[in-house]
Amino acid sequence: MSQDLKLGLIGAGRIGRLHAENLVHHVPGVELRWVADVVEEAAAGIARELRIPRWTTEYEQVLQDPDVEAVLICTSTHTHAEIIEAAAAAGKHIFCEKPLALNLEEIDAALAAVEKAGVILQVGFHRRFDPHFRRLKSLIVEGTIGRPWLLKITSYDPAPPPIAYIRVSGGIFLDMTIHDFDMARFLFGEVEEVYAAGSVLVDPDIGAAGDVDTAVVTLRFESGALGVITNCRKATYGHDQRIEVLGEKGGLFAENPLPHTAVLADEGGYRSAPLHYFFVERYREAYIAEMEAFVAAVRNKTSPPVTGLDGKIPVVMGYAAKRSFVEKRPVKISEITG
């Protein structure tokens, strides 16, 4: 009898497809048994392409299968908390994409359900698994640069998402900057205070939808260290993701990895490869490592590397940033958590 870990995928959109492909092709010892999506062709299409034996338009069917040990929740954000609670009640371990929800009360209810059921919950902050950023973390923990003083995170997308997505995303701070909030905590620890400024510079329709497309966020950590996050929905040259750290003994830099390192030199100068255009290519290794970590946590019954609390705190930080932007003042995290 196979000892493969049996999984169900709930949500067959872009990120669900990515996880499914990685599980089938790159993560040994698992069996992707189900795929569910409210769009019938999305579920059936992935099942057909990846030879997943079962598909459905009702995620409850996945949870009712006694052989399924864990599920991946890759649906629209507003459904996350509901499905987490249902999966926990069914005794399934859970991987859920960020954010857990846009409402803090819903997040608390979902985390309470997970704790009551005693199941594992890992949240999808894939950048923690990027080998370049993990190296930064290791060097900081090892004391290579002494006490960290300053953190600078650059995070630009190559193009904005559709306006329909912007309207339901929760805004740039809860949709885009949330990854950077998590990375800031991952590298420097807990944040005490947030100050955010934003503008509509890329597309006036984003402003009409009630959001900004360009933002700068400053952070004050509990350690006294300071951080700066710069975001923009559009960088014409690609997916720009860089981190810089300054400490008492030196600096650390994680630059953008390139598709190749060949450089062309001619009368026009020196030309290297363009950046990876989108996050799927940029974080290919990270997404695979993320799935491997979840599978290992379930198999070994250990705490996952990105917990439910890790999923909640960046949402709190996002609300602090939104309040700061609206009220034009620094906002302490304690003002959001009470």
Overall number of domains in the chain: 2
Could you tell me if residue 90 is inside a domain? yes
Helix residue ranges per DSSP H, the chain: 14-26, 40-50, 59-64, 80-89, 104-117, 131-141, 163-168, 172-175, 177-188, 204-208, 279-282, 284-300, 308-327, 333-337
Q: Both 114 and 200 in a single domain?
A: no
Q: Given 119, 140, 161, which residue is the final one in a domain?
A: 119
Answer whether residue 1 shows pLDDT above 80: no
Could you tell me if residue 296 is inside a domain? no
Domain that holds residue 276: 128-282+314-337
pLDDT at 276: 87
pLDDT at 77: 94
Q: Both 164 and 255 in a single domain?
A: yes
Distances (CA, A) of 231 to 180, 239, 321: 9, 11, 13
Express each pLDDT in 113-140 by its tens digit: 999 999 999 999 999 999 999 999 999 9
Q: Which of 205-219, 263-277, 313-327 has the lowest mean pLDDT?
A: 263-277
Answer whether residue 2 shows pLDDT above 70: no
Q: Sorting pLDDT into bands at 50, 70 and 90, what band is 38?
A: very high
Q: Which residue matches tokens 């339901």?
A: 168
Q: DSSP letters of 280-312?
A: HHHTHHHHHHHHHHHHHHHHHT---SS-HHHHH
Q: Both 147 and 16 in a single domain?
A: no
Q: Given 119, 138, 156, which residue is the final one in a domain?
A: 119
Q: Which two tokens stand for residue 241?
A: 């993701």
Q: Both 102 and 245 in a single domain?
A: no
Mean per-residue pLDDT for 209-229? 98
Mean per-residue pLDDT for 88-99? 98
DSSP single-letter state for residue 28: T
Could you tell me if residue 291 is inside a domain? no
Q: Both 239 and 221 in a single domain?
A: yes
Confidence (pTM)? 0.94
Q: Both 40 and 148 in a single domain?
A: no
Which CATH number is 324's domain given? 3.30.360.10
pLDDT at 238: 93
Q: For the chain, what percent of residues have pLDDT higher than 70? A: 99
Q: Both 135 and 234 in a single domain?
A: yes
Mean per-residue pLDDT for 268-275? 92
Q: Given 119, 151, 168, which residue is the final one in a domain?
A: 119
Mean per-residue pLDDT for 177-187? 98
Mean per-residue pLDDT for 162-166? 94
Answer whether residue 221 shows pLDDT above 70: yes
Q: Both 216 and 162 in a single domain?
A: yes
Answer whether residue 222 shows pLDDT above 80: yes
Could you tell me if residue 306 is inside a domain? no
Could you tell me if residue 299 is inside a domain? no
Q: Both 274 and 134 in a single domain?
A: yes
CA 188 – CA 226 distance, rounded (Å): 9
Mean per-residue pLDDT for 254-269? 93
The torsion defined by the Cα of 90, 92, 94 and 99, in degrees rounded to 10, comes to 0
Q: First vs last Cα of the chain: how many Å apart?
A: 51
Q: Both 190 and 69 in a single domain?
A: no
pLDDT at 279: 85
Q: For the chain, what percent of residues have pLDDT higher than 90? A: 96
Answer whether residue 212 shows pLDDT above 50: yes
Cα–chain center distance at 217: 18
Could you tell me if residue 275 is inside a domain? yes
CA 140 – CA 149 distance, rounded (Å): 11
